[in-house]
């Protein structure tokens, strides 16, 4: 289910009574139906599935999640000794885990 990708809203327009938008996916542009997130403004990111924006992408959350991953690493390093055996067991020098 459900290949959906984030894109940035470039412009919006009403077509046949429906809110449509031109959305930019890193240079690839596609017309997308915005009817389910009508209050999105130009410049915001939306998650698009089969030509429909199904949810607004919360940039704050995205950055927080990435920061959390960053912190996980720091934690792992602080407690390095305790985690070491499990890490070694899991990863060969080439990084292929078995």
Q: Which residues bind other proteins (CB under 8 A)?
A: 1-8, 16-18, 22, 25-30, 33, 35-38, 45, 47, 49-52, 54-55, 57-59, 61-62, 64-66, 69-70, 72-73, 75-76, 82-83, 86-87, 89-91, 94-98
Coil/strand/helix, residue 49? strand
Provide, rounded to whole angstroms, the least separation between the CB of residue 8 and other proteins: 7
Give the residue with the Cβ less far from other proteins, 28 or 41.
28
Give the residue with the Cβ less far from other proteins, 3 or 41.
3
The string of DSSP letters for 24-41 reads EETTEEEEEE-TTSTT--
């Amino acid at each position: 289910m459900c290949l959906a990708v984030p894109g940035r809203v470039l412009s919006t327009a009403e077509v046949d009574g429906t809110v449509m938008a031109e959305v930019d996916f890193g240079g690839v542009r596609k017309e997308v139906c915005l009817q389910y997130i009508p209050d999105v403004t130009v410049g915001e990111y939306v998650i698009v599935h089969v030509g429909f924006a199904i949810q607004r992408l919360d940039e704050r959350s995205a950055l927080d999640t990435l920061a959390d991953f960053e912190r996980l690493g720091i934690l792992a390093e602080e407690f390095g000794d305790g985690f070491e055996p499990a890490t070694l067991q899991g990863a060969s020098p080439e990084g292929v885990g078995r």
